[in-house]
């Protein structure tokens, strides 16, 4: 669940940078007034931490970012070994 939230925050941060580059409009600063506002800076830090988390998870999982935790079905051999 944490990976999914971090991924969504990273996507929102990317969209904010797209808007800054293309439209010269900072969405986060638009919501909270200015970039120097404390709340804007907190949101920027949260998005940055989420991006670093996604990067670290992706590197340690050898390029595979698993957002949902699907359980792998056990084979009959694994079921017998567990018993």
pTM: 0.71
User: Does the pLDDT at position 68 exceed 80?
Assistant: no
Q: Which residue has the higher pLDDT, 17 or 3?
A: 17
Question: Positive or negative CA dihedral for 58, 60, 61, 67?
Answer: negative
Q: What is the pLDDT of residues 4-19, one digit of tens each?
A: 899 899 999 999 999 9
The three-class DSSP label of residue 47 is: helix
Cβ distance 19 to 29 under 8 Å?
A: no
User: Does the pLDDT at position 42 exceed 80?
Assistant: yes
């Amino acid at each position: 669940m944490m990976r999914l939230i971090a991924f969504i925050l990273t996507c929102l941060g990317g969209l904010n940078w797209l808007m800054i580059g293309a439209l010269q409009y900072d969405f986060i600063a638009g919501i909270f007034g200015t970039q120097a506002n404390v709340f804007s800076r907190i949101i920027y830090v949260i998005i940055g931490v989420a991006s670093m988390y996604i990067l670290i998870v992706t590197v340690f999982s050898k390029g595979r970012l698993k957002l949902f935790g699907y359980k792998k079905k056990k084979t009959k051999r694994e079921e017998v070994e567990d018993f």
